[in-house]
């Protein structure tokens, strides 16, 4: 098979822990050919197919190395066996436009994972609203008065932007309400932008658990991202410590409830974020954690993913 990875610049990959690289390594070990491009390299012109300026990749055999084996060349997306959309958030206008180009490629015969339409339909913060029984107290609003009322009710809250990633822009406001007004203004831009507010979950001390769901079925281990020091965020990008651990019964219940629903919508790989017993996010753009779980728990997540990808392409 020929696989095209649509991702961030290759020079930015931290191959010792990057999930996309672990996918590449497993695919290459099975003899699949690899190519890569960035979303900016994809274009369409009337009378032609959606095309990417892509480079071919060959892994050197080193566990964390590759070489580019071609200069950028035009590659019609319908000519590869699978297009893997692995661009990191934020889900901004350019990401949105890229999903439309990828959906056009699907109409021309390309196979894209995750589905471009499903990517658009499941913004990572807001997708949880469909499953209110699985989440904690949550508010989505632009209005500062709504936020003040939510804080008055719950006393200890988390505020975050809808387009953030890696823990960026997350604030905790405790019972004293210190700086609530300033934080609200920073996030909602004086009513111009929508924010999410959630009751603080003290179980974060045991970790913000990333549960991977592949082909509708959960990986049996989560990656608990545990805040360090005085930090409230468990995100690895914010200094959290990642600890692989078996799924709890509640983790498995959440994953088995959502897994088949999301898989049926074209989401081959999903990362569910769970704190305590509550679902907090549904990550669909470029879920991570493969290498950490594999290294710590001995469960080969990349093998499981490529198995599921090959099965999907065989349908």
Catalytic (active-site) positions: 125, 160, 210, 225, 233, 273, 281, 283
Which residue reads 């339409």 in tokens? 117
CA angle 91, 215, 11 (to 5 degrees): 45
**Measuring CA to CA, which residue among 296, 298, 166 is closest to residue 243?**
296
Largest pairwise CA distance in the chain: 62
Q: Is 38 within 8 Å of 6 (Cβ atoms)? A: yes
Give the strands of the sheet with 157-161, arranged side by side: 138-141, 195-199, 157-161, 171-173
CA distance 31 to 305: 15
């Amino acid at each position: 098979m020929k696989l095209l990875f649509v991702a961030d610049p290759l020079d930015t990959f931290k191959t010792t822990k990057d999930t996309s690289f672990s996918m590449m390594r497993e695919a290459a070990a099975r003899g699949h050919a690899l190519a890569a491009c960035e979303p900016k390299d994809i274009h369409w012109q009337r009378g032609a197919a959606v095309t990417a300026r892509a480079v071919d990749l060959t892994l050197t055999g080193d566990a964390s190395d590759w070489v580019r084996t071609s200069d950028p060349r035009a590659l019609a997306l319908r000519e590869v066996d699978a297009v893997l959309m692995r661009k990191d958030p934020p889900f901004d206008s350019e990401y949105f436009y890229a999903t439309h180009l990828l959906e056009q490629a699907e109409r021309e015969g390309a196979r894209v994972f995750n589905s471009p339409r499903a990517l658009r339909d499941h913004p990572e913060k807001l997708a949880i609203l469909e499953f209110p029984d699985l989440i904690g107290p949550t508010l989505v609003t632009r209005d500062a008065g709504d936020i003040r009322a939510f804080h008055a009710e719950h006393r200890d809250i988390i505020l975050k932007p809808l387009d953030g990633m890696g823990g960026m822009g997350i604030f905790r406001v405790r019972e004293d309400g210190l700086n609530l007004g300033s934080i609200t203004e920073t996030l909602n831009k004086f009513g111009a932008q929508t924010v999410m507010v959630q009751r603080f979950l003290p179980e974060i001390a045991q970790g913000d658990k990333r549960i991977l769901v592949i082909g509708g079925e959960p990986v049996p281990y989560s990656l608990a991202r545990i805040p360090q020091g005085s930090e409230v965020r468990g995100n690895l990008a914010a200094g959290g410590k990642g600890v692989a651990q078996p799924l709890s019964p509640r983790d498995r219940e959440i994953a088995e409830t959502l897994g088949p629903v999301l898989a049926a919508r074209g989401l081959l790989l999903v990362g569910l974020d769970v704190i305590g017993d509550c679902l907090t996010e549904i990550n669909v753009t470029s879920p991570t954690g493969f290498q950490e779980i594999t290294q710590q728990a001995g469960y080969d997540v990349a093998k499981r993913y490529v198995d599921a990808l090959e099965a999907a392409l065989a349908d």
